[in-house]
Chains A and B, each alone.
Chain A
């Protein structure tokens, strides 16, 4: 059974940083692309970033390019999202999602950017 468990969310001030993690289990992690997708309170879904199975290729939404960095540690079956220069509009639930398109989703972790 595929399991994705996000962690690392919380309250951060504007301009601050946060690192999200997604622990994966139940599949061969290094064979699948992984994504981060977010959802602002009461709003729709927004794709944030994608990383290939090897980690060699990464892609970002324009809204986070230059501020967020996606990475993975295939030896630990873990996906990461380093978020810098956070803004109020980054407030959202952040989901990690397996595959391209996103076949399996974690339950999400809430990031709140506020002073």
Chain B
């Protein structure tokens, strides 16, 4: 069973830059997995940030960017703001199904 890995938690200072990653328990993430990133605050539905590795969803500020870093997909947030404090999830396409990572709880302080 494929496991998608994310850092359980991360902390960043206001105004700082943070990179969250999305890997595979076995193998490397490439654009062929169409890595997609979501942000979720408590009690709310997820919101799409980045799709297909690097494409920013409508209305998402350019402080959010996606890439492949080494063997993982990455979400970079520059100029972190206090309201960026959320859970961040990645999802990878496995050919006929999708697998989410366990999520990263981002703290901004």
Binding site for B on A (CB under 8 A): 35, 37, 44-47, 50, 59-62, 95, 100-108
Binding site for A on B (CB under 8 A): 1, 34, 36, 38, 40, 45-48, 51-52, 57, 87, 89, 91, 93, 96-103
Instruction: Flag if B91 contacts A101 (CB, 8 Å).
Output: yes
Q: How many A-B residue pairs have CB under 8 A?
A: 56
Closest to B36 in A: A101
Interchain CA distance A47-B100 in the complex, whole Å: 7
Tell me, rounded to whole Å, the shortest Cβ–Cβ distance linking A68 to chain B.
Answer: 13
Closest to B6 in A: A44
Report A-chain residues with C-beta under 8 Å of the C-beta of B40: 45
> Which of these, A44, A59, A102, A103, contacts B96 with CB under 8 Å?
A59
> Which of these, B48, B57, B103, contacts A45 with CB under 8 Å?
B103
Q: What would 28 A/B residue contacts be, using CB atoms closer than 8 Å?
A: A44-B101, A44-B103, A45-B38, A45-B40, A45-B46, A45-B100, A47-B91, A47-B97, A47-B98, A47-B99, A50-B98, A61-B97, A62-B1, A95-B45, A100-B93, A100-B98, A101-B34, A101-B51, A101-B52, A101-B91, A101-B93, A102-B36, A102-B46, A102-B48, A102-B91, A103-B51, A107-B45, A108-B45
